[in-house]
Amino acid sequence: GQCCEMPIGFIQIPVGVAGPLLLDGKEYTVPMATTEGCLVASTNRGCKAIYVSGGASAVVLRDGMTRAPHESSIDTSSILQIKGVSSVGVCTGTGTGMYPVLLLSLKWSTRASYRSSRFARLQSIKATMAGKNLYIRFTCSTGDAMGMNMVSKGVQNVLDFLQSEFPDMDVIGISGNFCSDKKAAAVNWIEGRGKSVVCEAVIKEEVVKKVLKTSVESLVELNMLKNLTGSAMAGALGGFNAHASNIVSAIYLATGQDPAQNVESSHCMTMMEAVNDGKDLHISVTMPSIEVGTVGGGTQLASQSACLNLLGVKGASKESPGANSRQLATIVAGSVLAGELSLMSAIAAGQLVKSHMKYNRSSKDVTKLAS
Q: Which residues contact 241 (CB under 8 A, 6 or more apart)?
A: 227, 231, 266, 268, 269, 270, 285, 336, 340
> In whole angstroms, what is the distance from residue 258 CA to residue 245 CA?
13
The CATH 3.30.70.420 domain(s) of the chain lie at 69-173
Distances from the Cα of 305 to the Cαs of 78, 252, 257, in angstroms? 49, 12, 11
340 conformational bin, left if phi > 0, alpha if psi -120 to 50, beta if neither: alpha
Alpha carbon dihedral 263, 259, 343, 63, in 10-degree steps, equals: 70
Q: Is 258 in the active site?
A: yes
Asked if 290 contacts 156 with a C-beta cutoff of 8 angstroms, the reply is no
Asked if 252 contacts 261 with a C-beta cutoff of 8 angstroms, the reply is yes
Give, to the nearest 10 degrees, the angle between helix 39-52 and helix 244-255. Answer: 100
> Residue 50: what residue type?
I
Q: What is the pLDDT of residues 8-59, one digit of tens each?
A: 999 999 999 999 999 999 999 999 999 999 999 999 999 999 999 999 999 9
The CATH 3.90.770.10 domain(s) of the chain lie at 15-62+198-370
- The CATH number given to 69-173 is 3.30.70.420
Nearest to 352 by CA among 339, 342, 366: 342
Q: Is 182 in the active site?
A: yes
- To the question of domain 15-62+198-370 being in CATH 3.90.770.10, the answer is yes
- Exactly one of 24, 221, 258, 273 is catalytic; name it: 258
Confidence (pLDDT) at 81: 80
Q: Is 267 in the active site?
A: no
The structure's pTM equals 0.90
In DSSP notation, 256-272 reads: T--GGGHHHHT-EEEEE
- Exactly one of 132, 153, 226, 356 is catalytic; name it: 356
End-to-end Cα separation, the chain, in angstroms: 28
Asked if 101 contacts 142 with a C-beta cutoff of 8 angstroms, the reply is no
Q: What is the pLDDT of residues 156-207, one digit of tens each?
A: 888 888 888 888 999 999 999 999 999 999 999 999 999 999 999 999 999 9
- Exactly one of 126, 132, 153, 182 is catalytic; name it: 182
Measured in whole angstroms, the distance separating CA 73 from the mean position of its chain's CA atoms is 34
